[in-house]
Structure 1
């Protein structure tokens, strides 16, 4: 493709050359007709006679004596992944300019530490299944219940302790304060579309996890998505025989991540972070029940209205076709 300031497109370059070579026009006449210089016409005529392309040639030189060697480039990338140092520190080790180090890291997509896995130091590997239902991720997010009157995050430590002490509950912890318990948010999120199904329960047992999975399968089926595989961590509920038998009954292949490797299940982990910011701790709730009641509205906003960068800044439901209430 020609550059933005080219006087002739490749099609017109060919036409110019044919007027001179095939039809016998003089170069000066063709140059005047197309309002270009005499050398420009001569250039395309010579290329046409030589049987060469009318496209622009690469401006890259044939030789680059000052180019950074492959050995230095590989050494720079290796040190970046192993030591996680910046351009200035790596430049001192390699005896090259920091700008050269930055250029190498940019070409290797390692210029930001967020592109490097914190555990292994290796580049982050991103993947996405090609259609909805090919893989879903499941996990449980544990949240502390909110006492009546509001939690300490919004009302302060002093008032939060008062609200906690005023909560009517017979069970007490070792400090004599009432046990408020936890909310366990069970999430099933589709790998391709990022559409999420979420329920809040008071436990994370295998029976609860299985019940959530069955309801999620029905919920996705109503939207034209058939779940084929499910990826989970190595929690007790997902290692149970009940989970295995339920997946077999639903014709779903269960898969688990490597131990101590939550990055493999990163899509649901990132969703839980978004959920914590957008729902769990987004505003001051005066009770745990109020927070749980607001989950459905937030989940609707996330699935059907909130732009998602992984979906081209479109909501997750945009990747599902002809589903009920898609545009509601």
Structure 2
């Protein structure tokens, strides 16, 4: 019991109440303990059949469950689920309660149809030295012209449409060092311009870019971008269509940037958000601990850097 040992109607009090009812009227004893006559007689009956141990509290779980599913029922439910049948259809075919079917599907870990499909094993990779592989990607962001409904909380407020701007990101595979820029579009000219600035930024930190990995966006498939990669002596690789996992490091960096930069503050104009981007990126590279690097910042993995603080200007 969870009650205090000296509280009213604990095992000790029940035993004393049963003992007093042997030589006193049950109604008087029940009134003295502040319980009903039915409760007093219940404990007296339990003591007579089970002794002192019967005075303890019993669980509320039923002794028998008439509608409990058997192992055969679980097998039939799972067979129909593998045939892509819905829970309601399974309950109708087997004449089993709908709630029991869905409870069985949860126990069988197949309440979602996607769980029946065989998932490809996760293949993680990481290049050994910085510059051997850079991940590039672009994120479309809406321009800001005043505080919007996301921060104010007015879902039905009139939405202004000032236009779009594009976050270009580049993440080094080995060190996770990132370079970012806000550009007005995602054309081939902007992609080439961003590549120029990214290669120059990594060169300042002693990194020579050897390969880059992008998705199959039109700007990355253009001849201008191909010629720019050849000019830098960079090998360009593209991900398989509909496989963003291959470029997962850039995708994860974009998610982090949105959470910690784009949506972390209440910006009244786009230029304020853009102005804060270099500050946040610098903090990400030189101060923010990274779980994949043993809680160290990406700058700790840059080649030729003896003291990270010398670059923190």
Q: TM-score range by the shorter chain?
A: 0.5 to 0.7
1:312 equivalent in structure 2: 294
1:135 equivalent in structure 2: 133
Q: Distance in 2 between matches of 1:312 and 1:118?
A: 35
1:188 equivalent in structure 2: 170
Question: Is 2:191 aligned against 1:209?
Answer: yes
1:147 equivalent in structure 2: 145
SS, match of residue 199 in structure 1:
strand
Say if 2:216 and 2:238, in contact at 8 Å, map to a contact too: yes
Question: Which structure's CA Rg is the greater one?
Answer: 2
Provide TM-score, normalisation by structure 1.
0.58
1:4 equivalent in structure 2: none
Say if 2:207 and 2:303, in contact at 8 Å, map to a contact too: no
Number of positions where the alignment pairs a residue of Structure 1 with one of Structure 2: 208
Select which of 119, 144, 166 maps to 1:121: 119
Provide TM-score, normalisation by structure 2.
0.61
Q: Distance in 2 between matches of 1:326 and 1:241?
A: 38
Q: How does 1:153-168 map to 2 (within 5 A)?
A: 153-157=150-154, 161=158, 164-165=159-160
Displacement after TM superposition at 1:119 (Å):
8.9
Shift >4 Å, 4+ stretches: 85-88, 116-120
Q: Deviation string for 1:69-128 (max 9, x for gaps)?
A: xxxxxxxxxxxxxxxx999416x9xxxxxxxxxxxxxxxxxxxxxxx9999612211100
Select which of 235, 242, 263 maps to 2:224: 242
Select which of 285, 290, 295 maps to 2:272: 290
Q: Distance in 1 between matches of 2:307 and 2:235?
A: 29
Displacement after TM superposition at 1:323 (Å):
3.5
Mark the runs of 5 or more structure 2 residues left unpaired by the alignment: 1-103
Say if 1:117 and 1:124, in contact at 8 Å, map to a contact too: no
Select which of 239, 254, 276 maps to 1:272: 254
Q: How does 1:79-98 map to 2 (within 5 A)?
A: 88-89=107-108
Q: Distance in 2 between matches of 1:225 and 1:124?
A: 29
1:172 equivalent in structure 2: none
Q: Distance in 1 between matches of 2:116 and 2:221?
A: 27
Q: How does 1:48-63 map to 2 (within 5 A)?
A: none
SS, match of residue 128 in structure 1:
coil
Displacement after TM superposition at 1:145 (Å):
1.1
2:24 equivalent in structure 1: none
Please provide the CA RMSD for this pair. Answer: 3.0
Give the 3 Å change call, closer, same or farther, for CA 86–314 of structure 1 in structure 2. Answer: farther
Say if 2:192 and 2:225, in contact at 8 Å, map to a contact too: yes
Question: Is 2:279 aligned against 1:260?
Answer: no
Say if 2:169 and 2:179, in contact at 8 Å, map to a contact too: yes
Q: Deviation string for 1:227-266 (max 9, x for gaps)?
A: 0000000000000011111100100000000011100000
